A and B are shown apart, each in its own frame.
Chain A
Amino acid sequence: KQEVTQIPAALSVPEGENLVLNCSFTDSAIYNLQWFRQDPGKGLTSLLLIQSSQREQTSGRLNASLDKSSGRSTLYIAASQPGDSATYLCAATETSYDKVIFGPGTSLSVIP
């Protein structure tokens, strides 16, 4: 059974800092690893999707990496801004049943 965990559960940083969010998964048989953003009271917005054959994906100040062999993914946010404050969730798509399994999320607060 796939289990996805995220560390830390919460993170507070001053504006301008670079930061890394971590995601771990127990079963390396995945099609992809996705990162989402969720603002309070809202649905999820897709940030990046990394296919299992890829090592990383970049979008603007965001860079996500994937190491299937170790069961880890990281989301790097450069030059953080107060508008980056949100909960960030990762999700792994299993190859066995096409299920998309989410981690519990990291709540990020960027202090001006």
Chain B
Amino acid sequence: NAGVTQTPKFQVLKTGQSMTLQCAQDMNHEYMSWYRQDPGMGLRLIHYSVGAGITDQGEVPNGYNVSRSTTEDFPLRLLSAAPSQTSVYFCASSYSSRVQPQHFGDGTRLSIL
């Protein structure tokens, strides 16, 4: 059981480049979410999904896109990277956010120059 797997672990981008952060889980969880973590600000919700084919915006969705074509995968796309998107990104999953705690991946550390 791998849990929640995030790739890559580290990435450096130039301003204006695009990229996709990958998140996969093997626990058959319906609920998946993406957060960014900046110093002193805890985790801020970017996008989340309550099941395949369903996504919704979190607290800070601008500049990011998501899709959920399968239960297992929930990729996060940066359309045109900006220095303000330099952060640590965490993916999480649970069977249901209403009754179960979320399992977190190890994070992707993203720097945008």
Interface residues of A (CB under 8 A from B): 4, 6, 9, 31-32, 34, 36, 42-46, 49, 51, 89, 91, 93, 97-105
Contact = CB atoms under 8 A, between A and B. Distances in A.
B98 A32 contact: yes
Contacts of A93: 97-98
A98 B50 contact: yes
Contacts of B50: 98
A43 B59 CA distance: 20
Given A93-B98, A98-B97, A104 B40 contact: yes
A43 B43 contact: no
Contacts, number: 64
Interface stretch (B12-20, B71-79, B102-110): B102-110
Chain B interface size, under 10 / 10 to 19 / 20 to 34 / 35 or more = 20 to 34
Tell me which of B92, B97, B106 has the highest count of chain A C-beta atoms within 10 A of its own C-beta.
Answer: B97
Interface of B: 31, 33, 35, 40-45, 48, 50, 56, 58-59, 90, 92, 97-107
B98 A44 contact: no
B76 to A, nearest CB: 15
A101 B59 contact: yes
Given A9-B40, A43-B105, 14 more contacts: A31-B98, A36-B101, A44-B90, A89-B42, A93-B97, A93-B98, A98-B98, A100-B92, A101-B45, A101-B59, A102-B43, A102-B45, A104-B41, A104-B42
Contacts of B101: 34, 36, 46, 49
Contacts of B107: 42-43
